[in-house]
Amino acid sequence: MLGTMQDGQLSIANLLRHGSRVHATAEVVTWTGTGSRRATYTEVAREAAKLAHALRGLGVTSDQRIGTFMWNNNEHLVAYLAVPAMGAVLHTLNIRLFPEQLTYVANHAEDHVVLVDGTLVPLLAKVLPTFDTVKHVVVVNGDASTVQAPDGVTVHSYAELLADQPDEFEWPAVDENSAAAMCYTSGTTGDPKGVVYTHRSIWLHSMQVCMTDSMALAQSDRALVIVPQFHAMSWGLPYAALMVGASLIMPDRFLQPEPLAAMIAAERPTMAGAVPTIWQGLLALLKQRPQDLAPLTRAVVGGSACPPALMAAFDELGVTIIHAWGMTETSPLGSVSRPPAGVSGDEEWQYRILQGRFPGSVRARLMADDGTQLPWDNEAVGELEVAGPWVAAAYYRVAEGEEGSEKFHDGWLRTGDVGAITPDGFLRLTDRSKDIIKSGGEWISSVDLENQVMAHPAVAEAAVIGVPDEKWSERPLVAVVLAEGQSATPDELRSFLAAKVAKWQLPENWTFIDEVPKTSVGKFDKKRLRAAAAGGELDIAHLS
């Protein structure tokens, strides 16, 4: 028996039509450093039509890849909409990748056009001659004449290119299962891997972002989107905002604590999204220069585990940090930590510090090393595997047997994250499989140690890695960044930990550093930290 429902394609073009008409007066606000520039969703849609016409004129006729090398701003949102809606594929280039990685991803994706922000032209110029397939560079908010293009590449001014274009476009009918956008993983091991999102996966993911037990993005929200638009599609916030009519506040290149504080004061966001390091920096500023954050009441934090001490500090400021987990491969929403109904006090807190509950569209399982499934009892620890309609089934142009293909099997994504799951479906991550420390046959969670160390008032950041040990195989090394104006010794920090972790887990190895190295998306780069330790670059104190 067949149903009687109509069949409508879940396309970005339909999302664009809906948002620009039903939520015409909602706006995208771009910070300039001293103030804001604004555009309504209707104006964004008109500019998207102009960009689509311009790209057609540059030879974009079907699913060519259009790269963006840009900050979070109005023009990047225009590209988010225009490129997939016209049937092409948006490729958000990560501006923080190493040059050789940028070359790899642009050539692997076969980008045809690159839109670049004027402030990023010098960075792009270094790698542009190595881009084999790029034929056009479009300079946004900058002087196109400053670009020295290699042979075969034409440079255009975004403003001039769009100046005489019509502000309406006949958006083509696009199959919802066709490619809409793509991001590459940060490539901490091997070459970066391409993840291709479909129109359907983006639409369904946007609906999840708006669910009340998820990010709960609503028409009444003004969302401060700090997470970069090149990082897992800015966690889906731009598309979800268009779906429900929430306004967007885009920080452009002004990501430091002081401009973010000024942005919050001027534009009064109600919610925000960013990785933990952003909130740690803002918290340090607010301790020096207190500021009323209202009406900001919630902040979604993902990308890496959020220290409970950071969550508690923002609670005191009236901002609830909502823990979330995900990956580029999961679009990225995999789980969001909204405590169950009826809990309060310490029980509620114990749920909040978990990585979150899986939504109905994300299936999860824990796998032991021998390939057997583990129970959801909050005790059994294994590798997390997930599946669902916005979870990648493969990497772009990675064949079976090639490096990276081992991440997928039996229709499941192997996340590389290690943890447990509660009986009611909450994820408790203990580590990345490559970061967990094996000491004397027992496992030590680097994340648990980091969270405990960062609860010390003198500590701004702490990263834990395993270092070789003749007796125990591996022991933890704690790299500590002290808060400004604070002091502490390894003995003091170890004593602080003594009441919080098992005695055999107490680290003997400590080092103080100026900053924990970060990946291109703001996570602790433990690969670089391990290399520094192995190379004798760290001054390590060994306690008895």
The predicted structure's pLDDT at residue 82: 98
Alpha-helical (H) ranges within 86-157 are: 99-109, 121-127
Own/partner pairs for 460-465, CB < 8 Å, 24+ apart? Answer: 460/280, 460/284, 460/484, 460/486, 461/277, 461/280, 461/515, 461/516, 462/516, 463/516, 463/524, 463/526, 463/529, 464/437, 464/507, 465/435, 465/437, 465/526, 465/529, 465/530, 465/533
Fold of 435-542: GMP Synthetase; Chain A, domain 3 (3.30.300)
The predicted structure's pLDDT at residue 525: 85
How would you class 399 by CB atoms within 10 Å of its CB: exposed for 0-12, middle for 13-18, buried for 19 or more?
Answer: exposed
Is-contact 344 312, C-beta < 8 A?
no
CA–CA dist 263, 15 (Å, integer): 28
The predicted structure's pLDDT at residue 443: 72
Q: pLDDT per position in the chain (544 positions), as tens?
A: 999 999 999 999 999 999 999 999 999 999 999 999 999 999 999 999 999 999 999 999 999 999 999 999 999 999 999 999 999 999 999 998 889 999 999 999 999 999 999 999 999 999 999 999 999 999 999 999 989 899 999 999 999 999 999 999 999 999 999 999 999 987 555 789 999 999 999 999 999 999 999 999 999 999 999 999 999 999 999 999 999 999 999 999 999 999 999 999 999 999 999 998 899 999 999 999 999 999 999 999 998 778 899 999 999 999 999 999 999 999 999 999 999 999 999 999 999 999 999 999 999 999 998 999 999 999 999 999 999 999 999 999 999 889 899 999 999 999 989 999 999 999 998 877 677 787 876 678 888 898 899 999 999 999 998 898 877 878 999 999 999 889 999 999 999 998 888 788 899 999 999 999 887 667 788 888 988 988 889 999 899 7
Give Cα 28 to chain centroid, integer Å: 20
CA–CA dist 45, 43 (Å, integer): 5
Our answer to whether residue 372 is catalytic in this structure is no
The predicted structure's pLDDT at residue 510: 94
The token pair at 12 is 């970005």
Residues 6+ apart with CB under 8 A from 344: none
Our answer to whether residue 450 is catalytic in this structure is no
* Catalytic hit among 185, 198, 277, 430: 185
Domain boundaries defined on the chain: 435-542
Tell me if residue 121 falls in helix, strand or coil.
helix
Task: Give strand pairing partners of 321.
Answer: 299
* Catalytic hit among 443, 489, 492, 515: 443
* Catalytic hit among 47, 176, 329, 383: 329
* Catalytic hit among 438, 442, 492, 515: 438
Residues 6+ apart with CB under 8 A from 23: 41, 219, 242, 244, 245
The predicted structure's pLDDT at residue 222: 98
The predicted structure's pLDDT at residue 522: 73
Our answer to whether residue 185 is catalytic in this structure is yes
The predicted structure's pLDDT at residue 523: 77
The predicted structure's pLDDT at residue 189: 56
